[in-house]
Structure 1
Amino acid sequence: MSHTDTPSPTDTASRPDPRRTVRPRTAAGRSVLVLGASGYVGRHVCRAFTAAGDRVSGIARSAPADLAGVHWRPLDLVAATTEDLVRCLAGADVVVNAAGAVWGVTDEQMHRANAELPARLAEAVARTPRRPRLIHLGSVHEYGPGPYGIAVAETFAPAPVTGYGRTKLAGTEAVLAGCRDRGLDALVLRITNVSGPGTPTGSLLGMIAAHLARAADADPDGPPPLRLTPLTAERDFVDVRDVAAAVVAAARCPDSGLVINVGRGETVPVRALVDRLIGLSGVPVEVVEADRDGGRRGTADWQTVDLARARALLGWQPVRDHDSSLRDLLAAALPHRRPAAAGR
């Protein structure tokens, strides 16, 4: 799907910024602390830093068994005080906040995880004598509906329309305020929709992969249909391993106090992505969409991000296409079923 890759005329990614803090960064051997390390993105971030030769510690309520080489510190981050976080930060060169809440939680729980925790973390970093680089993982939902046909640049004014988007924006603003008011060395990566191995079942693609896994063992008369809400949207999907690579690049970046978009920089119709996932699985599942009420597609159904700043400041761009991401999602969800051939 083509799109108009038009940055805002006020974009300052290519010009000097007064918030930049130039500081030498070693290529490897850093002490890296990942908050929310047992989560979907957090696990891949841990693996990426470990592969880069860094010493990785993970903070979560419980440690998964499939992450080798990560030192675990059990802690309920939502309940943790600023003092708890200060103690955890001791000795860290890089801190990644991959914690957050999106599915199956109350509004209060979402606010505590997405807004209050980043604010406490920014305060904790400010209190740490040897201040680490902080990388906060934000969300494309902070922008709200994007203008149809235009890739949203970081200078577009955020206008979130969901509770998730509003709480994530509050967390981002707390981190940026710490940079502006207290001299924190931090970047915010604003991430689009994520796919790839381990996609959670709370997400659309993860839920479909779980349905396909059940359908593969269904009655020989045929698997049950997959009933979904209308799939009218076109979205920017990026592989989780590309996201992790962007986080590692952000740890080396000398710039500070900025938001940087992370995505593929292109849209894909969600229905086409769903159909491709099912086709690659080889499971003959029928998709039944709910009535669309005769509604006409609006600008809220289309969104992608501009990647000029990520390319310029991080030297990063996505390398995995949708097929490889979907295949690896299926390989993890249906380990005993081989995905269909590439041309199918």
Structure 2
Amino acid sequence: MKGTAVVFGAKGFIGRRVTAALTADGWRCTGVDRYGRATGGAGEVAGPYYSGNDWSSVALSRFLRARGPAVIVNAVGAPWSTDAAVVRRDNVVWPCRLAEACELSGTVEAVLHLGSSHEYGDTARGAPVSESSVLAPVTEYGKSKAMGASYLVRAAYRMDRPLTLIRAFNVIGPGHGTQGIWAAAVRLYRTAVEAGSDQVVANVPLPETARDLIDVRDVAGLVSLAARRPGPAVASYNAASGTATSIRQLFDVFAERTGIPYRFARNFDGLRIGSTWQCADTTRAASRLGWMRQFTLTDSVAAALALDAGTPAALG
């Protein structure tokens, strides 16, 4: 047994996989949701923990102290398409309160925080972004993630405890929610398979937009490796595939997997602003932690369709 890990956001898309990976790696995991409900026999966070749009760092610190020496994993985060108030609450206010609680508890051994590729801002086409790149977020979502991480960075230095920042690029794979192009593609193809449709029509204004797509199981694997080797004082790693994949290429894989062709309808209404090309340099995670991507895009598509459609045999 490696010790205790407290995972915040353990019921979310990434948090569930992170908790499973840490448990499989020998950690004794406690998962906590935003309302203070905990798993792993820990009971609930006592006291006035959550009220409206804020949390009590005092009540949270008591909970952490009761858990004893532990590694803290923050997998809480609002997706960038959520409304501004929720983004600020989950991406700024929450990590601020968590940082305060970690300092107050005096029992934190290390902190791992799930950040976002949007903290880097716009990236130059053809130039993979590395962890040493200057953070220059341009979207409110990216700014919120960078601000939230800054509270944990300052707390880590004051506590003299290691902090690891895992900046996740576009996370895909089985169990995704309802937002983003990945979830939309899964939903469209699941519906098409169930209905026996002969074509999928997707609203994609800019199909050549490219993102670095990484399976959630690979992100969880990186977090687990980083938990084994905390340090230096503040370390950062890109959780990414190292490949820029266009939306068109993504749909090509769905079409190949299901045998159902697609057509893009280019409706620009409600188009979100963001970089048209993203790709990460993953050298640091490979060289320092020995991390390697295990799941291809085809693997992710197959797993997501099997999970959501519930008919893997029908999908070949």
What's the % identity of the aligned pairs? 30
Specify the SS of the correspondent of 1:300: coil
Q: Distance in 2 between matches of 1:50 and 1:302?
A: 35
Q: Which residue of 2 aligns with 1:82?
A: 57
1:252 matches 2:225:
no
The CA deviation at 1:339 is 6.3
Unaligned stretches of 5+ residues in structure 2: 269-273
The CA deviation at 1:32 is 1.1
Q: Which residue of 1 aligns with 2:288?
A: 313
**Superposition CA RMSD, Å:** 2.6
The letter for the 1-side match of 2:5 is: V
Specify the SS of the correspondent of 1:132: strand
1:34-76 deviations in whole A, cap 9, x for unaligned?
1011100000011111111221111115899xxxx84475567
Q: Which residue of 2 aligns with 1:96?
A: 73
The letter for the 2-side match of 1:319 is: Q
1:301 matches 2:276:
yes
Instruction: Choose which of 140, 151, 159 in structure 1 pairs with 2:136.
Output: 159
Q: Distance in 2 between matches of 1:303 and 1:314?
A: 23
The CA deviation at 1:285 is 5.1
Change (3 A) 1:221 1:275: closer
Higher relative contact order (CA 8 A, sep 6+): 1
Aligned ranges for residues 5-84 of structure 1 at < 5 Å? 28-61=1-34, 70-71=40-41, 79-84=54-59
Greater shift in the superposed pair: 310-319 or 32-41:
310-319
The CA deviation at 1:126 is 1.3
The letter for the 1-side match of 2:170 is: N
Greater shift in the superposed pair: 163-172 or 71-80:
71-80
Structure whose residues are more often helix by fraction: 2
Change (3 A) 1:241 1:92: farther
1:198 matches 2:175:
yes
**TM-score, length of structure 1 as denominator length:** 0.80
1:1-49 deviations in whole A, cap 9, x for unaligned?
xxxxxxxxxxxxxxxxxxxxxxxxxxx4311111011100000011111
Specify the SS of the correspondent of 1:242: helix
**TM-score, length of structure 2 as denominator length:** 0.87
The CA deviation at 1:180 is 3.1
Q: Distance in 1 between matches of 2:96 and 2:103?
A: 11
Q: Distance in 2 between matches of 1:107 and 1:185?
A: 31
Aligned ranges for residues 89-238 of structure 1 at < 5 Å? 89-90=64-65, 91-102=68-79, 105-218=82-195, 222=198, 225-238=201-214
Instruction: Choose which of 280, 290, 303 in structure 1 pairs with 2:266.
Output: 290
Q: Which residue of 1 aligns with 2:248?
A: 271
Unaligned stretches of 5+ residues in structure 1: 1-27, 293-298
Q: Distance in 2 between matches of 1:72 and 1:339?
A: 42
Specify the SS of the correspondent of 1:225: strand
